[in-house]
A = this chain, B = another copy of it.
Amino acid sequence: MSGRQRKVVCITELRQACRTCSLQELCLPMGLAAEDIQRLESIVGHKGPLERGRHLFREGDPFQSIYAVRDGALKTYSIDADGREHVLGFHLPGELLGLDAIYPRVNRCSAVALSNASVCVLPYDRLSDLAHEVSGLQSQIFRLLSKDLSISANLATDHTAEERLAGFLISIAARSGAGTELKLVMPRRDIASYLRLATETVSRLLARFQQEGYVEVHRKNLQLLNVEGLRRLGGSFELTGLASAIRRPLRG
Q: Which residues of B contact A84 (CB under 8 A)?
A: 158
Dominant secondary structure at the A interface: helix
Q: Size range of the interface on A?
A: 35 or more
Interface string of A117-153 (1 = CB under 8 A from B): 0000000000010011001001101111111111011
A149 to B156, CA, bound (A): 11
Closest B residue by C-beta to A86:
B157
A216 interfacial contact with B, CB 8 Å: no
B245 close to A104 (CB less than 8 A) = yes
A153 to B153, CA, bound (A): 7
A108 to B153, CA, bound (A): 10
Interface string of A90-104 (1 = CB under 8 A from B): 000000000111111
Closest B residue by C-beta to A147:
B103
Q: A102-B143, A145-B149, A152-B153 are in contact. List 4 more A-B contacts (CB 8 A).
A: A80-B157, A80-B235, A142-B142, A145-B146
A-B contact pairs, 17 of them (CB 8 A): A80-B236, A86-B158, A88-B157, A100-B150, A101-B146, A102-B142, A103-B144, A108-B153, A128-B139, A128-B142, A132-B132, A138-B138, A149-B152, A152-B152, A155-B156, A156-B196, A158-B193
Residues of A within 8 A of B (CB): 80-82, 84, 86, 88-89, 99-104, 108, 128, 131-132, 135, 138-139, 141-150, 152-153, 155-158, 193, 196, 235-236, 242, 245
